[in-house]
C-alpha cells in the first residue's frame, strides 16, 4: 500500500451550496434531504433551541459562530413556537463541531434527535467563522443545504436550485407561522422551583397580533398582569377592537415588513388612530414604522445575536440585547411626530421609536430573550404604564 493511500478523508454527507456557486462540505446531522433558504449567522453563545424555534427565522439557514452547539441537549421548556410539535420555519443549521452527548440536568433529548424530529437539516464540521466572513463580505445569500447519508449529490443541480431561489425581499412569511385561530394565553415565565406558572388574576386585557410570536413574549405580558388574546396576522382592526382590549401588541415575525404590511399596515394604522396603547417588537416595530409613514430597507448581513449593545435615548443607558432581523427602519424617514428612542451601537441603525402625541412605541430588539439578562424587561412595564394611564386618564 502506498503511503498516500493509507488514509483518505471521509466522504462528506452534507453540503451547503450558495447562490454564488460556493460549495461547502461537511457531515450531515438532523433530518435527511434538502432545504433552501437565506443563510445568516448568529453570534449567540447560548440559546440554540430558542433560536431554532424562533418563528422570525422562517425561511433562513442559521450559521452558529459559537463552536459548541448542542452540548447541553434539548428540552421542550426552551421551545419558542407556540405550536410545540411544529417547526418555526427554520430551514437548516450549520455547526462547527460535531454534536456531543448531552451534559445538562435539564436535557430531555439528544440535539441530533431533536433536529430530526423537527425536520431541520444540519451540517457540521464547517469553518463557520470563514462562512461568517463570507456573509459579511457578500451579504446574506440564498443557499441549499443537503444531507444524504451515502454522500451522493448532484452538485450542479443544487447550484442551479440555489441560484434560482427568490429573495426574502418582497416575501410575506408571517402568514406561514401565524396562528390560524384566536386563543387565550395566561402562562407566566419559568421559576426555578415551580416551572411555568399561570396568570389567574389579570388586571389588563391585551390583544396580540401574531406575526410569528414567541412564547416568552406572551409569558412576560402575562407576568405583567395581562390576560392575552392572540389573534391571526390577518385580523382586521374592527375585529381587534371588538375584543375590547386595554392595549394592543404587535409581535415579532419573519420576512419583508413591506410585504406583510400590505394587509397588516392598514390594520395597525387604524389601531393607532383608536387611541389604544400599542407596543411592537421586531417585525411589529418595522410595520408600525410603516404605518406611521416611515420606510424599511433590507440589511446587508442583518443583526442576529445575543450581544448587541443598544443605546436607549429615553434613559441614556446602554442595554445588551438580543437581535434577529434582516430589515431595518430608516430613522430619517420617520415623520416629525415620531421620535427615535433606541439605536444600535454596532452600526447606528434604528432600534426603537415612540409617537410623541400617542401611547404608541416599539423596539427592534427582543427584550423577552433576556440576554442582559433583564436589561430590556422595563419595556413591558412601559407598556403597562401606558395602559393604566389610558384606563384612568389624569384629571383635567
Is the link from the previous residue into 359 a cis peptide, with omega within 30 of 0?
Answer: no
Q: Is 351 a catalytic residue?
A: no
Concatenated DSSP letters of 26-70: EEEEESSEEEEEEEEEE--SS-HHHHHT-GGGTTEEEEE-SS--S
Task: Please tell me which residue in 49, 50, 80, 368 is annotated as part of the active site.
Answer: 368
Task: Please tell me which residue in 40, 226, 282, 351 is annotated as part of the active site.
Answer: 282
| All three cell numbers of 197 | 406558572
Sequence-distant (6+) residues with CB within 8 A of 353 are 285, 288, 289, 292, 294, 329, 334, 338, 339, 340, 341, 342, 361, 362
3-state helix, strand, coil in the chain (%, to 5): 25, 30, 40
Q: How far apart are CA 89 and CA 114, in angstroms?
A: 15
CB 70 within 8 A of CB 91: no
Q: How far apart are CA 180 and CA 170, in angstroms?
A: 22
Task: Please tell me which residue in 147, 308, 342, 366 is annotated as part of the active site.
Answer: 366
Count other Cβ atoms within 10 Å, centred on residue 195. 9
CB 254 within 8 A of CB 213: no
Q: Is 40 a catalytic residue?
A: no
Radius of gyration of the chain (CA): 22
| All three cell numbers of 188 | 407566566
CB 300 within 8 A of CB 381: no
Q: How far apart are CA 29 and CA 112, in angstroms?
A: 6
Helices and strands, number each (H, E), in the chain: 10, 19
CB 65 within 8 A of CB 40: no
- Residue written as grid cell 411626530: 337
Q: Is 368 a catalytic residue?
A: yes
β pairing state of 296-312 and 338-344 = antiparallel
| All three cell numbers of 349 | 441603525
Which among 126, 117, 107 has a CA at the least distance from the CA of 17?
126
User: Would you give the distance in Å from CA 247 to the centre of its chain?
Assistant: 23
Residues forming the active site: 282, 366, 368
Amino acid at each position: 500500500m502506498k503511503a498516500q493511500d493509507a488514509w483518505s478523508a471521509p466522504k462528506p454527507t452534507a453540503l451547503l451550496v450558495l447562490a454564488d456557486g460556493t460549495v461547502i462540505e461537511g457531515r450531515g446531522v438532523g433530518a435527511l434531504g434538502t432545504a433552501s433558504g437565506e443563510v445568516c449567522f448568529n453570534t449567540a453563545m447560548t440559546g440554540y433551541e430558542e433560536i431554532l424555534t424562533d418563528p422570525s427565522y422562517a425561511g433562513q439557514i442559521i450559521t452558529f459562530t459559537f463552536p459548541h452547539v448542542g452540548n447541553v441537549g434539548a428540552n421542550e421548556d426552551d421551545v419558542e413556537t407556540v405550536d410545540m410539535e411544529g417547526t418555526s420555519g427554520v430551514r437548516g443549521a450549520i455547526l462547527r463541531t460535531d454534536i456531543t452527548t448531552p451534559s445538562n440536568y435539564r436535557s430531555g433529548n439528544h440535539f441530533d434527535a431533536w433536529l430530526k424530529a423537527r425536520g431541520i437539516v444540519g451540517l457540521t464540521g464547517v469553518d463557520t467563522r470563514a462562512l461568517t466572513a463570507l456573509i459579511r463580505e457578500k451579504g446574506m445569500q440564498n443557499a441549499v443545504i443537503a444531507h444524504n447519508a451515502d454522500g451522493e449529490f448532484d452538485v450542479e443541480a443544487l447550484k442551479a436550485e440555489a441560484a434560482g431561489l427568490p429573495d426574502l425581499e418582497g416575501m410575506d412569511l408571517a402568514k406561514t407561522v401565524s396562528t390560524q385561530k384566536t386563543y387565550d394565553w395566561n402562562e407566566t415565565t419559568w421559576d426555578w422551583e415551580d416551572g411555568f406558572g399561570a396568570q389567574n388574576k389579570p388586571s389588563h386585557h391585551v390583544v396580540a397580533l401574531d406575526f410569528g410570536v414567541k412564547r416568552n413574549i406572551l409569558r412576560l405580558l402575562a407576568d405583567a398582569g395581562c390576560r392575552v388574546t392572540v389573534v391571526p396576522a390577518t385580523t382586521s382592526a374592527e375585529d381587534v377592537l371588538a375584543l375590547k382590549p386595554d392595549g394592543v401588541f404587535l409581535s415579532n415575525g419573519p420576512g419583508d415588513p413591506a410585504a406583510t404590511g400590505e394587509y397588516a399596515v392598514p390594520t395597525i394604522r387604524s389601531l393607532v388612530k383608536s387611541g389604544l396603547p400599542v407596543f411592537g417588537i421586531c417585525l411589529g416595530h418595522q410595520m408600525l414604522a410603516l404605518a406611521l409613514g416611515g420606510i424599511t430597507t433590507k440589511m446587508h448581513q442583518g443583526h442576529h445575536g445575543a450581544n448587541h449593545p443598544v443605546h436607549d435615548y429615553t434613559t441614556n443607558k446602554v442595554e445588551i440585547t438580543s437581535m434577529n432581523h434582516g430589515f431595518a427602519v430608516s430613522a430619517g424617514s420617520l415623520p416629525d411626530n415620531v421620535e427615535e428612542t433606541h439605536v444600535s451601537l454596532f452600526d447606528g441603525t434604528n432600534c426603537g421609536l415612540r409617537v410623541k402625541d400617542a401611547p404608541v412605541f416599539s423596539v427592534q430588539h427582543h427584550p423577552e430573550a433576556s440576554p442582559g439578562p433583564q436589561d430590556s424587561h422595563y419595556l413591558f412595564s412601559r407598556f403597562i404604564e401606558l395602559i393604566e394611564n389610558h384606563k384612568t386618564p389624569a384629571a383635567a
